Amino acid sequence: MKEHDLVRELAEKNASKIVMLVADGLGGLPLELSGKTELETASTPNLDRLASRGTSGSSVPVLPGITPGSGPGHLGLFGYDPLEFKIGRGALEATGIGFELGPDDVAARGNFCTLDAAGKISDRRAGRIPSEESFAVVEKLQAVKIPGVETFVKPVKEHRFVVVFRGKGLDGRVADTDPQAVGVAPLDPQAADPAAAKTADVAKEFVKQAREILKDEPKANGLVLRGFAAKPALPTYEQLYGLRAAAIAVYPMYKGLARLVGMTLVGKAQSLDEQIAELAKCWNDYDFFFLHFKYTDSTGEDGAFEQKVKRIEELDRAIPKIEALRPDVLIVTGDHSTPSKLKSHSWHPVPTLLAADTCRPDGLTSFSERDCLRGGFGIFPAKHLMLLAMAHAQRFGKYGA
Amino acid sequence: MKEHDLVRELAEKNASKIVMLVADGLGGLPLELSGKTELETASTPNLDRLASRGTSGSSVPVLPGITPGSGPGHLGLFGYDPLEFKIGRGALEATGIGFELGPDDVAARGNFCTLDAAGKISDRRAGRIPSEESFAVVEKLQAVKIPGVETFVKPVKEHRFVVVFRGKGLDGRVADTDPQAVGVAPLDPQAADPAAAKTADVAKEFVKQAREILKDEPKANGLVLRGFAAKPALPTYEQLYGLRAAAIAVYPMYKGLARLVGMTLVGKAQSLDEQIAELAKCWNDYDFFFLHFKYTDSTGEDGAFEQKVKRIEELDRAIPKIEALRPDVLIVTGDHSTPSKLKSHSWHPVPTLLAADTCRPDGLTSFSERDCLRGGFGIFPAKHLMLLAMAHAQRFGKYGA
């Protein structure tokens, strides 16, 4: 990624503090043509004031029209091109449950399924097994022992779990064992590259022992493995930007994503107020602070327009508390849009603002999707946001003489 | 092209319908500084209404400042980077006269010229030979027979014609035989790559026989060949987007361009009204419909400002008939600008709008070059338009989890 070469070349250290407040799924849509979006509906005096003194823009998470998951959405905000840096399904799943992957790990997503007497899949979701039952079955799988390899099996939800193999010489290039159909047997783990032969053998041994353990389960008597993946090779915030970065998040997925880029997880906050209290506590120990606010996304996913409006107002009320710490750069953005109207992530650009003493005024006096279209950053790729953060923190030297 | 990998990964099928109405050369310029463009002058109540409910933007066909021909202009709109996917001059010329190139074909553009007694070019346009005379000479060239190769010679206009060689093992990498000067003899066809040796020999044999046939012609007693090219290797709409695509165009060039990306040519419409009648007729058989409207370009090329305004108003009147079919996504754009003031294609961005229920309002209430600058898509590369079309048709899955 050519931007990273530039960043490494130009990054300088100083005493500045950068706060990136990510309101997950921040962008929205009006419910009706003549209506307003959630952000436009919300009363946001503090964000509006920030917009007046800062610069706004519309950030495009991946490319126009592309809806990102949380992984690519956050990678973009952190300054990693989400088309170049990919987090394999297994690695993301492990990250999402808070499992910290090491350099010798290969993770896969596991699904319990029901096998018939002939060993063929009769139900791909193991009879929609509830989490409580499934967790008990996962517990039994702790008995699997593979020589030379450490094995971790962790529950996710319902029929889903994660397996992590830890050992020297493992490689993520193993094909899925899920035939994506019923009436056929699960596939054997096969190396998709010669370098992954050992990993495929390990996975085969895991499946063999697991099948023996599960054989009398009424629903979950079989399993398939998908998305084998090692920890992605991402340069850290320290390596790239020279930033000591702290992540203050509530949910495991976002903590995990922050860990993948070398941020330190700080505190055990369970609410935005607690997150800001943690922020104040660790203020002197870090240069960059990633604060993640989940509820603008979850209310959007629920199609709860009014609830999303309220969550945005909650976010707005937190702004003065962050400003009180006098960050040099304060960014408010989202990793993607989650319009209540669509009840899902979407491809629409994300309203974004950056406030710093070095901002050139763009004439905006409020923060909304429509305003951000006319903002000083224009419509820009999310992966460039960190360049702007570094610049406004005056942490970049001049390029060329 | 990294966007294509993404498209193949994310494309999903559903029952949505996408209409792309391409008004060739749509963008314009005011004749005087204080004046309006053709589109700003035209009364366009229907396009203005579409702009109110959709999202607008300014599409850049290739790169800022680059004026495209019809080939690159349309490739961009169809989602193919026109700098990566190139249509060789011979292939484009064959396409433009409605010759459907096959996989074993190499096409070249031919120009008749006048040779003096010493065999040197005395007139590079064969005395500006009129089309009627030229067509009769082309007819005589049908007598050329080359063993193992099928040869097609087709008239274009005045001194211009197309030759297509069809046979196994042909290759487009043959150098032009046009010395681009008078007073020198045409060059021999030379392979520019060893793989094209056979094709160079075939071309030599063609030139030899043709020269014999033409030797007594008063004007067109010689010929040069340029732009040897095979059919470009473009993934089809079906392969890329999973779209069954129909092209409803009047002119051979645009039918040909649509065929190159695997669209099916539908009907024999000769007017916009007939095109829309065809659209209605084949509505259930396709997912994507490319409608091409030529006259915004031809009036621009003629420098006929008022005529271009009238053609834009004709286009506007067609909009409700298309809307009556209830497309999920309706796009109105152009392949480039053709300002009457310049009497030619130009590099200026092209006013573009997309109407769908998933649009985020951008506050625009009319459709024009000036409005589109403030639209929700901003100023964007034409090659990204199909990403937006697919997104708004909800035909893309999420990227990453």
Give the distance from residue A222's alpha carbon to the nearest chain B alpha carbon, in angstroms: 25
A98, with CB counted inside 10 A (0-12, 13-18, 19+), is: middle
Cβ distance of A63 and B6 shorter than 8 Å: yes
Amino acid letter for position B213: I
Give residue A401's pLDDT band: very low, low, confident or very high (50, 70, 90): confident
Give the model's pLDDT for residue B29: 98
- Residues A178, A224: contact at Cβ < 8 Å? yes
The residues in B 47-76 lying below 8 A from A, measured between CB atoms, are 52-53
DSSP codes joined into one string, A216-228: T-SS-SEEEEEEE
pLDDT in tens, A58-75: 999 999 999 999 999 999
Choose among B60, B86, B65: nearest CA to B75. B86
Owner of token pair 């009320």: A317
Mean pLDDT check: name the lowest of A25-29, A87-91, B246-250.
A87-91
Amino acid letter for position B401: A
* Interface ipTM above 0.95: no
- A41 lies within 8 A of chain B by CB: no
> Which of A33, A69, A378 is facing B401, going by the closest CB pair?
A69
Nearest CA in chain A to B377: A379
Give the model's pLDDT for residue A35: 95
pLDDT in tens, B127-175: 999 999 999 999 999 999 999 999 999 999 899 999 999 999 999 999 9
- A134 lies within 8 A of chain B by CB: no
Q: Which residues on A lie below 8 Å from B363 (Cβ)?
A: 370, 373
Give the distance from residue B302's alpha carbon to the nearest chain A alpha carbon, in angstroms: 36
- B211 lies within 8 A of chain A by CB: no
Q: Which residues on A lie below 8 Å from B389 (Cβ)?
A: 65
**Which tokens is A155 given?**
């529950």
How far apart are alpha carbons A299 and A303 in whole angstroms? 6
- B4 lies within 8 A of chain A by CB: no
Q: Which residues on B lie below 8 Å from A30 (Cβ)?
A: 360-361
When scoring A24, A29, A36, A67 by the number of chain B Cβ atoms within 10 A, the one with the most, hence best to mutate, is A67
Cβ distance of A63 and B3 shorter than 8 Å: yes
Give the model's pLDDT for residue B77: 98
- B391 lies within 8 A of chain A by CB: yes
pLDDT in tens, A158-170: 999 999 999 999 9
Q: At what angle do helices B252-260 and B89-96 cross, to 10 degrees?
A: 120
Mean pLDDT of A279-283: 98
Q: Where are the alpha helices (DSSP H) in B97-214?
A: 131-140, 197-214
Chain centroid to CA A63:
17
> Which of A64, A68, A347 is facing B400, going by the closest CB pair?
A68
Give the distance from residue B34's alpha carbon to the nearest chain A alpha carbon, in angstroms: 24
Longest dimension (CA), chain A: 74
How far apart are alpha carbons B244 and B236 in whole angstroms? 10
- The 3-state DSSP class for residue B237 equals helix
| Residues in a beta bridge with B105 | B166
Give the model's pLDDT for residue B26: 98
Cβ distance of A65 and B388 shorter than 8 Å: yes
Give the model's pLDDT for residue B401: 75
**Which tokens is B124 given?**
């590079």
Give the model's pLDDT for residue A58: 98
How far apart are alpha carbons A31 and A188 in whole angstroms? 48
Nearest CA in chain A to B378: A379
Count contacts between A and B (CB, < 8 Å). Answer: 91
Q: Which residues on B lie below 8 Å from A65 (Cβ)?
A: 384, 387-392, 396
Q: Which residues on A lie below 8 Å from B6 (Cβ)?
A: 62-63, 66, 83
How far apart are alpha carbons A48 and A51 in whole angstroms? 5
- Residues B178, B162: contact at Cβ < 8 Å? no
3-state helix, strand, coil split of chain B in percent (to 5) is: 35, 20, 45
Domains belonging to chain A, first-starting first, are 7-86+234-392 (3.40.720.10), 91-230 (no CATH)
Mean pLDDT of A75-87: 96
Nearest CA in chain B to A30: B360
Strands B150-157 and B160-166: antiparallel
Give residue A242's pLDDT band: very low, low, confident or very high (50, 70, 90): very high
Residue A119 has pLDDT above 90, yes or no: yes
The helix (H) or strand (E) run that includes residue B291 is: strand B288-293
Mean pLDDT of A37-56: 98
Residue A261 has pLDDT above 80, yes or no: yes
Q: Which residues on B lie below 8 Å from A83 (Cβ)?
A: 2, 6
- B365 lies within 8 A of chain A by CB: no
- Please tell me the pTM assigned to this model: 0.91
- A37 lies within 8 A of chain B by CB: yes
Mean pLDDT of A355-366: 97
Nearest CA in chain A to B360: A29
Give the distance from residue A339's alpha carbon to the nearest chain B alpha carbon, in angstroms: 10
Q: Which residues on B lie below 8 Å from A344 (Cβ)?
A: 398
- A342 lies within 8 A of chain B by CB: yes
Profile chain B (401 residues) by mean pLDDT over runs of 10 residues: 93 98 98 96 98 98 97 97 94 90 95 96 95 95 96 94 96 96 96 96 97 96 96 96 97 92 95 98 98 97 97 98 98 98 98 98 96 97 98 97 75
Give residues with Cβ within 8 angstroms of B136, minimum separation 6.
none
Give the distance from residue A307's alpha carbon to the nearest chain B alpha carbon, in angstroms: 20
- CA-to-CA dists, residue A277 to A273, A312, A314, A322, B282, angstroms: 6, 19, 15, 9, 63
- A369 lies within 8 A of chain B by CB: yes
Residue A1 has pLDDT above 80, yes or no: no
Q: Which residues on A lie below 8 Å from B396 (Cβ)?
A: 65-67, 347
How far apart are alpha carbons B21 and B293 in whole angstroms? 7
